[in-house]
Chain A
Amino acid sequence: MPGDSSMKFDEMHAADGTARGAYRQYDEWLGAQELSWLRRQSDEAERFFRRTGITFNVYGANDGEERLIPFDVIPRIVTAAEWRKLERGIAQRVRALNAFIHDIYHRQEIVRAGRLPEQMISRNVAFLPQMVGFEPPGGIYTHIVGVDLVRTGPDEFLVLEDNARTPSGVSYMLENRETMMAMFPELFTRIPVRPVSDYPRRLARSLAACAPPAASDRPVVAVLTPGIYNSAYFEHAFLADQMGAELVEGSDLRVVNGRIAMRTTCGFQPIDVLYRRVDDEFLDPLTFNPSSVLGVSGLMDIYRAGGITIANAPGTGIADDKAIYSYMPEIIEFYTGEKPILGNVPTWRCSDSDSLAYVLDNLSELVVKEVHGSGGYGMLIGPTSSKAELADFAKKLRARPDNYIAQPTLSLSTVPILTKAGLAPRHVDLRPFVLVSPTGIEITPGGLTRVALKQGSLVVNSSQGGGTKDSWVLEE
């Protein structure tokens, strides 16, 4: 139960206050440091982030206002053995996701087999009829996946959410590590931490491996961004820079001789692989939202004709909405023939009338999310909501039950953060980043740890006052 500290699992400290295995070496080092020096390093880290412009824009805030995602200097540490299991579970899940999307846009065997209700697909706004029967280059739909994990006990990692569209945050994973290495170099000579820095190189390789038939020998990769006012613009620029790829906007692109080409200083040059950070509906005004200026007219036609690879493929959202999520255990079994290695959080689908009744009766103890929501927007956290907020949300639920799922309020694990008074436990989650190419699945050891900075809070989203930590996977 939330607030009941006896149930909470702290990843660093056991109940008797001693450091757990993963943190033993770190704790030894930490014990020898002055708190005031750590505070100073922490302030230094913030200045570093500001100077380098590692900021994000907040929607709804003042025009163009940029904020820092608060960075906490205490790392989040996972042992080699824990990571091995996570890695197997994530790979299994990502394989199933790709097989599932392929099936949905082809024969829909899973529906025929009666394992997934037909309306989950036909009524889903993320389903794109334009993708039906189409085979994406390399057979890959979700080239880049972020799997959000939460921990509830020593051996219990659960998947909270799959991000199969355009998961963000990987630049923070990389910059957090850079910052830690700059602030505390001696830690990395003492403790064997697996490196994460080759992610951009792997991403570039992975994208190039999915080049379309029309591509040249050295595929041209470009990152498509909505522009400098997008909340994740820093990341788009960062990844393009690290990959040595062009960072393009819709206005740079047009169809030239059956290819998507970018306007360069010496004419239009075709692009082979487009790593797009623009949502499906804005990709092509001819096919989707006609008022979009973020995409390229004709992109979908060129894509379907084999002139370009889009990563992730359009229509992958079908696999990561929160209603489909509740079917993931079945989906994994159906496509891999294996039991899921990583569990799901129990989920009530409010579209089901019995579940809806249960959810309405127990609203004050549940977390309710929008099926297509993200970023922590539009969700209800029962235990921390007022009577009025609960009543208000119940109204919304009754009006559009299909739009919601509910989950128990989990007792998320904690990791300490550095506060003015010293260490204090805060709830965390973990988003490892997965790359999928025809040659295999690669998972960067670690990922992005998000931390709820407010005491007792369970909301880790950066848009809602969450921070991040460097995430360490220890060497074997």
Chain B
Amino acid sequence: MLGRSANGIYWMMRYLERAENTARLLDAGFRLALTRGQGAARDEWRSVLVTMGQAAAYSRNHSEFNGPTVTNYILGDRDNPGSVRAMFEIARSNARSVRTALTREVWEATNESWMVLHDQLARPVKAGNLGEVLSTIRRQSTLVRGAVEGTMLRNEIYNFARIGTFIERADNTARILDVKYHVLLPSISWVGSTLDNTQWETVLRSVAGERAYRWLNSGNMDARGIAEFLILDGRFPRSLAFCFEKLRSNMASLARQYGHETPAHERLRDTVSRLHQTSTAQIFEFGLHETITAIIAEINEIAIEIAADYRFIA
């Protein structure tokens, strides 16, 4: 397949994944704002912007960190090139440029996502509609992923689509952890307090993991448990371990089809084996923040290497 097509489908899936995760992040912020005071909400909205890497751009035109302003900035502000609306626009335009690599179902699902959200996000979303809009974003993104799963041939095109999904998901989960690491830092005075529990729940909600975590841990909220769940638990589809396993298998599939590995395989293998040898204790010993920062950098390096090895751009 063309390097440009691999690049197109990879970014199409990355942007759809990013849109979905952004919706989860906003949903978690929204919940926290409902249950907590103004001060906590302000911090929460700021941390949503920091997670998305948009805090600086936001501060140029806004001084207030309140729910409606932040939410609408992130969802559809025309001055924000990183808005969710723009994400669907970019995903769809990438899909158009690789139209021949997609099945009709995948293309139609992507095109429909864009049609629906392009309209819905064109105007500021009313507070009463926010829940519905966020769920539409998640649903549309899931629809495309489902169409990819259900209709695409398991070949290189599929592999690049999946690699896009999991590079983005790993990056997003890691960013959420990084912004919230202070919440998870063991602190005697916080343990067992309500503040702790709500904050922790927000972290889990941001990655749709609150139910799974509770089920696995019989409702026991605990910083180490949450960090372990999000980093090392290979059963949870948004954990770093799960994302890396998917990256590994899709990269292996590329190596099988092309008959050889590339430097990206080597790099990915290094990262995965280091993660496998790490325990929760070691993470906290080394420093949660330091661990996550290193992982984010490694994901980025792997992404750059994949783009170079498979000739994404001339």
Asked if residues B1 and A50 are in contact (CB atoms below 8 Å), the reply is no
Given the complex, which residues of A lie within 8 Å of B310, measured CB to CB? 265-266
Asked if residues B156 and A263 are in contact (CB atoms below 8 Å), the reply is no
Which residue from chain A places its CB closest to the CB of B102 in the assembled complex?
A241
Given the complex, which residues of A lie within 8 Å of B258, measured CB to CB? 265-266
Which residue from chain A places its CB closest to the CB of B312 in the assembled complex?
A265
Asked if residues B2 and A264 are in contact (CB atoms below 8 Å), the reply is yes
User: Roughly how many angstroms separate A233 CA and B99 CA in the complex, as a whole number?
Assistant: 10
Asked if residues A247 and B3 are in contact (CB atoms below 8 Å), the reply is no
Asked if residues B311 and A237 are in contact (CB atoms below 8 Å), the reply is no
Complex partner residue of A228 from B6, B97, B104, CB under 8 angstroms: B97
**Is A281 in contact with chain B by the CB < 8 A criterion?**
no
**Is B314 in contact with chain A by the CB < 8 A criterion?**
yes
Q: Interface segment, A157-165, A248-256, A382-390, A403-411?
A: A248-256
Known: A228-B93, A265-B311. A237 touches B111 (CB 8 A): no
**Is A74 in contact with chain B by the CB < 8 A criterion?**
no
Chain A contact residues, majority secondary structure: mixed
Given the complex, which residues of A lie within 8 Å of B254, measured CB to CB? 265
* B311 vs chain A, min Cβ distance (A): 5
User: Roughly how many angstroms separate A237 CA and B95 CA in the complex, as a whole number?
Assistant: 11
Given the complex, which residues of A lie within 8 Å of B2, measured CB to CB? 246, 248, 252, 262-265
Q: Which chain B residues numbered 137 to 165 have a C-beta less than 8 Å away from chain A?
A: 156, 160
Asked if residues A240 and B100 are in contact (CB atoms below 8 Å), the reply is yes
Asked if residues A264 and B99 are in contact (CB atoms below 8 Å), the reply is no
Given the complex, which residues of B lie within 8 Å of A267, measured CB to CB? 311
Complex partner residue of A264 from B3, B96, B160, B314, CB under 8 angstroms: B3
**Is B305 in contact with chain A by the CB < 8 A criterion?**
no
Asked if residues A265 and B108 are in contact (CB atoms below 8 Å), the reply is no
Given the complex, which residues of B lie within 8 Å of A52, measured CB to CB? 104, 107-108, 111
User: Roughly how many angstroms separate A263 CA and B4 CA in the complex, as a whole number?
Assistant: 8
Number of A-B contacts (CB under 8 A): 63
Q: Which chain A residues numbered 83 to 110 have a C-beta less than 8 Å away from chain B?
A: none
Which residue from chain A places its CB closest to the CB of B109 in the assembled complex?
A51
**Is B40 in contact with chain A by the CB < 8 A criterion?**
no
Known: A53-B107, A241-B99, A264-B311. A252 touches B4 (CB 8 A): yes
**Is B112 in contact with chain A by the CB < 8 A criterion?**
yes
Interface residues on A, range: 20 to 34
**Is A227 in contact with chain B by the CB < 8 A criterion?**
yes
**Is B122 in contact with chain A by the CB < 8 A criterion?**
no
Given the complex, which residues of B lie within 8 Å of A247, measured CB to CB? 99-100
Q: Which chain A residues numbered 233 to 249 have a C-beta less than 8 Å away from chain B?
A: 233, 237-238, 240-241, 245-249
Q: Which chain B residues numbered 268 to 288 have a C-beta less than 8 Å away from chain A?
A: none
**Is B115 in contact with chain A by the CB < 8 A criterion?**
yes
User: Roughly how many angstroms separate A240 CA and B107 CA in the complex, as a whole number?
Assistant: 15
Which residue from chain A places its CB closest to the CB of B4 in the assembled complex?
A252
Q: Which chain B residues numbered 57 to 75 have a C-beta less than 8 Å away from chain A?
A: none
User: Roughly how many angstroms separate A241 CA and B99 CA in the complex, as a whole number?
Assistant: 8
Asked if residues A252 and B3 are in contact (CB atoms below 8 Å), the reply is yes
Which residue from chain B places its CB closest to the CB of A262 in the assembled complex?
B2
Asked if residues B93 and A241 are in contact (CB atoms below 8 Å), the reply is no
User: Roughly how many angstroms separate A53 CA and B254 CA in the complex, as a whole number?
Assistant: 30
* B248 vs chain A, min Cβ distance (A): 18
Asked if residues A263 and B311 are in contact (CB atoms below 8 Å), the reply is yes
* B12 vs chain A, min Cβ distance (A): 13
Known: A246-B2, A264-B311. A51 touches B112 (CB 8 A): yes
User: Roughly how many angstroms separate A266 CA and B254 CA in the complex, as a whole number?
Assistant: 10
User: Roughly how many angstroms separate A355 CA and B96 CA in the complex, as a whole number?
Assistant: 48
Given the complex, which residues of B lie within 8 Å of A263, measured CB to CB? 2-4, 311, 314
* B28 vs chain A, min Cβ distance (A): 32
Q: Which chain B residues numbered 78 to 107 have a C-beta less than 8 Å away from chain A?
A: 93, 96-97, 99-100, 104, 107
Asked if residues B111 and A246 are in contact (CB atoms below 8 Å), the reply is no
Asked if residues B3 and A50 are in contact (CB atoms below 8 Å), the reply is no
Which residue from chain A places its CB closest to the CB of B110 in the assembled complex?
A53
Q: Which chain A residues numbered 179 to 229 have a C-beta less than 8 Å away from chain B?
A: 227-228
Which of A240, A251, A265 gathers the greatest number of chain B CB atoms within 10 Å?
A265
Given the complex, which residues of A lie within 8 Å of B6, measured CB to CB? 265
Q: Per-residue 0/1 for A36-72: is the Cβ within 8 Å of any B Cβ (1 yes, 0 no)?
A: 0000000000000011110000000000000000000
User: Roughly how many angstroms separate A267 CA and B258 CA in the complex, as a whole number?
Assistant: 11
Given the complex, which residues of A lie within 8 Å of B115, measured CB to CB? 50-51
User: Roughly how many angstroms separate A247 CA and B104 CA in the complex, as a whole number?
Assistant: 16
Asked if residues B111 and A53 are in contact (CB atoms below 8 Å), the reply is yes
User: Roughly how many angstroms separate A245 CA and B5 CA in the complex, as a whole number?
Assistant: 13
Given the complex, which residues of B lie within 8 Å of A249, measured CB to CB? 4
Q: Which chain A residues numbered 419 to 476 have a C-beta less than 8 Å away from chain B?
A: none
Complex partner residue of B4 from A51, A53, A251, CB under 8 angstroms: A251
Asked if residues B311 and A251 are in contact (CB atoms below 8 Å), the reply is no
Which residue from chain B places its CB closest to the CB of A265 in the assembled complex?
B310
User: Roughly how many angstroms separate A238 CA and B100 CA in the complex, as a whole number?
Assistant: 7
Given the complex, which residues of B lie within 8 Å of A241, measured CB to CB? 99-100
Given the complex, which residues of B lie within 8 Å of A227, measured CB to CB? 97
Given the complex, which residues of A lie within 8 Å of B3, measured CB to CB? 252, 263-265
User: Roughly how many angstroms separate A237 CA and B311 CA in the complex, as a whole number?
Assistant: 21
Q: Per-residue 0/1 for A262-295: is the Cβ within 8 Å of any B Cβ (1 yes, 0 no)?
A: 1111110000000000000000000000000000
Which residue from chain A places its CB closest to the CB of B254 in the assembled complex?
A265
Q: What are 18 of the A-B contact pairs (CB < 8 Å)?
A: A51-B108, A52-B108, A53-B111, A228-B97, A237-B100, A241-B100, A247-B99, A247-B100, A249-B4, A251-B4, A251-B314, A252-B2, A263-B4, A264-B3, A265-B156, A265-B254, A265-B310, A266-B258
Beyond A238-B99, A246-B100, A265-B1, 13 additional contacts (C-beta under 8 Å) are A52-B107, A52-B108, A53-B111, A233-B96, A237-B96, A241-B100, A247-B99, A249-B4, A263-B4, A263-B311, A265-B160, A265-B310, A266-B310
**Shortest beta-carbon contacts, A-B, top 9:** A237-B99, A265-B310, A241-B100, A263-B3, A247-B100, A240-B100, A53-B111, A228-B96, A266-B258
